[in-house]
Amino acid sequence: MALSRDPLAGTPYRKLRLLRAGGMSKVYEVEDGRGRVFALKLLRREFVTSHRSIERMRLEKEILRVANHPNVVRLRDAGATRAGLPYIVMDRLYGSTLQARVARGALPVLAAVRYVRQALEGLSAVHALGVMHRDIKPENLFLSRSSRQSPRVMLLDFGGAKILREIAHVELLSVAISTTEDEVIGTARYIAPEVLQGSLDQRADLYMMGHVLHTLVTGREPFHEIEDERELIAAQLAKTIDPPSPATIERVSIELFDLIHRVQAKDPAARPGTAQEFIAALGQFVAHHQRLQKQSAPGRTKRTLGVGEYAKLIAAMRAFPERSAAIREQYGLGSAHAWAKVQGWWEAQVQAQPHLAAKFDQLVERYYRRFMARRDENG
């Protein structure tokens, strides 16, 4: 009998389009019989006879079913196609991955911290189930946007997750028994050194989240100067990330880089012990940042910057990072206190008016392209 060309034959879903293709699975936008739209993750046909791959899909389904957290993508359904390929159905999220967002440049500091705190809340929930994600990276963190709420980060892709049987939630134990292989899973640019050495510890996920925060606030991935995967693995084992430039430290703050450096420690014992400890440390940083806002010197910050003016400022600093301090000075924001105050005010505006975030991103992108064109013209 000829195989159906429809990958979803035998399911109650109709394929609308491909959203994402991975090594082991594909994610489709689908519609059910009532016209509701979802995201459906389907095992690739070439893995239909792979017991391990099928069990990994089952594991992901069970983790999502038990987790039920606002920062973890929600499971809606699961089953198998007529061809025997397992699938899981999740909420259709609208927005972009943090990978796509940071490709346009570094994020405002407080926004990056807020997004990582949200991701850590989801991670804390799955850690409480005895789960290690093992592949934390910007590509697996989705910035979901809705007209009714502020942007929210959702933790995706538990296909490489590991159940730690000694602390596992009782409902996950049956899946844990069949996923005890010792293969190294993760992404070389983000993976923790102890994972490469065969150790399974939830603090490895925190190391990767520290790399994510570093990427968001600097606009550069860890060990960005290295392309070869073997060299990346060697760097994760023994090399420290090059310190940021003085201009980047001034823009971001030395206190936050101190925390990032702690989370990126090669020794797991030197990192925060849990996701909640990491969240608490980020909360302390935000409180410190807010104190700086209150101590801000008088000057131009007595009036607020409009969305267009603030977008232009951020775009200029991104296009000309070596001149960021001078650019801020032009706007009357030369002091760290004044800059912190303006950033904090804009964070509050975005929280209160979620539609501003999308408008702001569009304006920044427009101004950034103009500045880069001008830079290219001037050599």
Note the pTM of the prediction, 2 decimals: 0.77
pLDDT tens, N- to C-terminus, the chain (379 residues): 455 688 899 899 999 999 988 888 999 999 999 999 999 999 998 888 888 888 888 989 999 999 889 999 999 999 999 988 999 999 999 999 999 999 888 888 888 999 999 999 999 999 999 999 999 999 999 999 875 667 899 999 998 888 887 777 767 766 655 544 557 788 889 999 998 888 888 999 999 999 999 999 999 898 888 888 899 899 889 888 877 777 777 778 888 888 999 999 999 999 999 999 999 999 998 888 777 666 554 444 444 567 777 888 888 888 888 888 888 888 777 777 677 777 776 766 666 566 667 777 778 888 888 888 877 776 6
In sequence order, which ranges of the chain are alpha helices (DSSP H)?
51-67, 98-102, 109-127, 173-177, 193-196, 203-218, 229-238, 246-252, 254-263, 275-294, 307-319, 324-330, 336-352, 355-377
Contact residues for 106 (Cβ-Cβ < 8 A; gap 6+)? 112, 216, 217, 218, 219, 318
Residue/partner pairs of 190-194 with CB below 8 Å, 24 or more apart: 190/135, 190/136, 190/137, 190/222, 191/233, 191/236, 192/236, 192/268, 193/236, 193/237, 193/238, 193/266, 194/268
Q: Quick one: three-class SS letters along 88-135?
A: EEEECCCEEEHHHHHCCCCCCHHHHHHHHHHHHHHHHHHHCCCEECCC
